[in-house]
Amino acid sequence: MDDFQSSFSSRNMEEGHELSPLALNQGLFGIVAAGALKVFRYVKDDQFAILDILVEGDFFHYGFPDAPGVRMFVYPDQIQAMTTSCLLYMDSTKLQELLRRDADLSSTYLDSMTGKLNQLHERFIHLGSYAADHKLAYLLEFLHSKGPGKADYPDLIPFNITRKDLASLAGLTLETASRILASFERSGLIRSGRGWVEILDYPGLSKLCRTEEL
């Protein structure tokens, strides 16, 4: 595992640093060391689609398809005392070498990929063809499950997340997201403010995004 650590090239990105210019050959593999990263793509003018949110310990793969343009963006985690996100990365040839040598890493990697794909499939189900309140309820659970949580606020989604971010992840508009979060708040399911959401009634939220009844 020491081998694993030392084989990554690591750097503290300055705020707003774009990952694209770093383009490595073939594909990119990485692990997030601290904070949170928004993975997004511009789709029009200032509009963007958020693909995923990576948090501490997340593995990820990223390729560089023919289409140019900014694809990934690092932003400061503003909740955790303004610490800057840190990204460890390596190119895929290096990873390949490591996987061959390190059985532990290899095993962890396979589990991680399996989990990632299952997670994406779940997201397709819940964000695919349900009503807006179902989507948001699922999304809040999803995001909450990603973080380690802060000790004093265990049910606070542990990174900065705006209405616009939530809307983008769920495939809704900012206004709809706002209205639905307001109704969640009236029902006592959550508390929220500028850039943060805290879950108060986990079971109640879960009930809103069940896929099958018993």
Partner DNA sequence: CGGGCTATTGAGGATTATCAACTGGTGTGG
Partner DNA sequence: CCACACCAGTTGATAATCCTCAATAGCCCG
Strand partners, 48: 42
SS3 for 27?
strand
Distance CA 13, CA 164 (A): 24
Of 15-23, 49-57, 79-87, 191-199, the segment contacting a copy of itself by CB under 8 A is: 49-57
Site string for a copy of itself, 19-48 (x = CB under 8 A): -------xx-x---------x-xxxx----
CB atoms within 10 A of CB 177: 23
Binding a copy of itself by CB under 8 A: which of 32, 53, 95, 140?
95
- Counting contacts by CB under 8 A, is residue 145 touching a copy of itself? no
Q: Which residues of 8-42 are buried (b: 16+ CB within 10 A; e: fewer)?
A: beeeebeeebebeebebeeebbbbbebbbbbbbee
Say which entry of DNA, a copy of itself, none residue 132 contacts (CB below 5 to 8 A, set by partner kind): DNA
Nearer to a copy of itself, 83 or 118 (CB): 118
Decide the pairing of beta strands 86-91 and 196-199: unpaired
- Counting contacts by CB under 7 A, is residue 80 touching DNA? no
Residue 92 CB, shortest distance to DNA, in Å, is 34
Distance CA 133, CA 126 (A): 11
Say which entry of DNA, a copy of itself, none residue 116 contacts (CB below 5 to 8 A, set by partner kind): a copy of itself
- Counting contacts by CB under 8 A, is residue 66 touching a copy of itself? no
Nearer to DNA, 49 or 110 (CB): 49
DSSP conformation letters of 77-107: -SSSTTPPPEEEEEEHHHHHHHHHH-HHHHH
Nearer to DNA, 10 or 173 (CB): 173
Say which entry of a copy of itself, DNA, none residue 114 contacts (CB below 5 to 8 A, set by partner kind): a copy of itself
Q: Restricting to residues 112-131, which ones interact with DNA according to CB under 7 A?
A: 129, 131
